[in-house]
Structure formats: structure tokens, C-alpha cells
Amino acid sequence: MPFPSLLCCLSNKSAHSHALEEIKQTPDPTSDDSRQRSQELFRTFVDSDSPDVIGPDGVEKLCKEAGIPLDGAQPLLLAWQFGCKEVGKITLDEWQRGTETLRISSLATLALSLMELDEAVVHQKPPIKRAPSTASKRGAAGTSKAQLTYNRSRYWNYCRDSEAAFSELYQFCFTLSKPPQSRNIDMETVIALWSVLLAPRYQIVNELTTFLNENRSYRGVNKDIWSMVYEFCRTVNPDLSNYEMDGAWPTMLDDFVSWKRAKVPTEGADA
């Protein structure tokens, strides 16, 4: 589901406590200039009636101008890295803390950071190669390659344990997406989130979302079920051979497994 459509599924959300843990950094002599460029960039996308907030339209515009895909996990990664409290909104405080921690002052470096996180954390690709610690090289046009770098401290930490990083992202997305006065996320939003978070890692999620779209009796998902679906994807074999129907799995997963097994042709039926 594209990000603008995902926005339509979500309402006001609550905070996540682990998204913006401070990372110690070596002082950057250009930090003042970077901070100013970052603030100027923020003002480019703010709401006309709220100068301290980038709203859904501004976030969509930001993603399009930066070349950040709207139909995948990268908008969620942006919210995770900036510690956003509401989906589709970035406050000035969130923007300042996020860009200063990552040392980002341009759309190009923002897009690069999200692409690298997407590949490492969501798609489980190998980490990028560390660049040698030498002086910046300049190309024919005189553009420093360092202009497309950022503080990768978090990136390297995530790469050391990408499963733990994904688990943090996954739980953050539940908190971000859940209405503040509710225990559940509605099923339309859940399917959209699982499609961009779990489906790239676990093929069986495509079948699960097909099942849920065909069976509209499930109205929403609470945090326990949200967590157990992730555990199901991590621990159950794709052919369901180790799934125990009398285990502690939620009824929704029992029903899905029965549905999937019923679709498998009986051995010898085509003989």
C-alpha cells in the first residue's frame, strides 16, 4: 500500500521510547552550518498553518522530492529514526534531533540513510563496505563524495544485530500506528504494515494477507497478536510442518494455517 494510502488508515499515535537514544559523536566543525541547512530544509515542507510541523502533505512532498519510495518501508524508517509520535507528521523538535544525530542536512543524504537502513534492516542485505578513513576525494565536477555521507553509527550498530534492529522497528510501528485510546490497530492498517515490514523477509506473509483480505471477520490486532505474528514468521517453517494447532498461537493464525493446508492438494489426487 503506498504511503499516502497508509496515511489514510492511521490516526493520532503515541510515542515510542527507544527510537531516539542518544549516540555519542565526535564534534563536527561544520555542525552549525549543517544545523542551519537542516532547519532551512524543514521550513521547505512545513504546514502553512503550523510552522513547527511537517504534516502528511509535507511528508509526502518531502519523500517525492528526495526520491524516497512511498510504497515501501522507508517512510516508516524515517519516522523510526526521527522518533516521530504521529505517522505522517514530523515536528521541529523531532526533525532537529533526528537530523543532528544522523548529521543530515540534505534530501540526498536523508534518502541515502533510509535506503541503506531499508536494505540492511528490512531486506536483510549485507552491510555496505566501510569507506577508508582518508581525505575526501573529489570528482571531475569538484563534488566531494563526503557530501553524500552521514553519521552511520546507528547503521553499524543495527548491522551488528539486524534481527534486534528489525524487532525494534517492528514494535515501534505498532506504537506509532495504534490510536492512543485503543488497544488495537484496525486490520486494513495491519495488512498494509505487514506488507511492507514482514513480506520482504517472510514469503508466507503474502499468503497471510491474502487470507485476511478474504476473511473479513477479523477486525483488528492487539500488541500480543502483532508480536506473535512476527514470532510465527521467525519460527514456523514455510510449509507449516512444525506448526502445532494446540499450541499457544492466536485463533487467527490457527485459522490461517487451516486455510493454507486446505489449499494443498491431497497426495496422489492428481495421479
pLDDT, tens digit, 9 for 90 and up, residues 130-158? 876 544 444 333 434 445 789 999 999 99
Q: For residue 269, what are the contacts with CB-CB under 8 A and spacing of at least 6?
A: none
pLDDT score at 120:
98
Distant-in-sequence contacts of 201-204, Cβ < 8 A, 24+ apart: 201/122, 201/123, 201/124, 201/166, 201/233, 202/233, 202/234, 203/238, 204/233, 204/236, 204/238
Calculate mean pLDDT across residues 7-19: 41
Tens-digit pLDDT profile for residues 205-261: 999 999 999 998 999 999 999 999 999 999 999 999 999 998 899 999 999 999 999
- Is the pLDDT higher at 156 or at 9? 156
CA atoms within 13 A on the CB side of 166: 26
pTM score of the predicted model: 0.83
Contact status, residue 68 vs residue 101, Cβ threshold 8 Å: no
